[in-house]
Amino acid sequence: MAYLLNVYENPEVIKWFAGYGVKVDQEAYALSQLVQWIWRSAIRDGQPVRLYLPSKRMRRILRGWLEDR
């Protein structure tokens, strides 16, 4: 599976939340999008998957999350 995105939240959404004093965590947002995409693959059926993440940022975020688990 190839995840070709380097995900960031929409700047208008960030601005809207900031208006209410809420800070958007871009790293957590990117991780949640990536993990959801992985989970929707064959992995939820117990099948192995192979990932291709060309974005250094997305690889770093995923590796960091996996190492903390």
Spell 19-50 as b/e; 16+ CB within 10 A means b.
eeeeebeeeebbbebbeeebeeeeeeeeeeee
Check if the beta carbon of residue 54 is closer than 8 Å to that of residue 4. Answer: yes
Token pair of 58 as six digits: 């997305």
- Higher-pLDDT residue of 69 and 53 is 53
pLDDT in tens, 32-41: 999 999 999 9
pLDDT value at position 69? 78
The mean per-residue pLDDT over the stretch 42-60 comes to 95
Tell whether the model's pLDDT for residue 9 goes beyond 90: yes
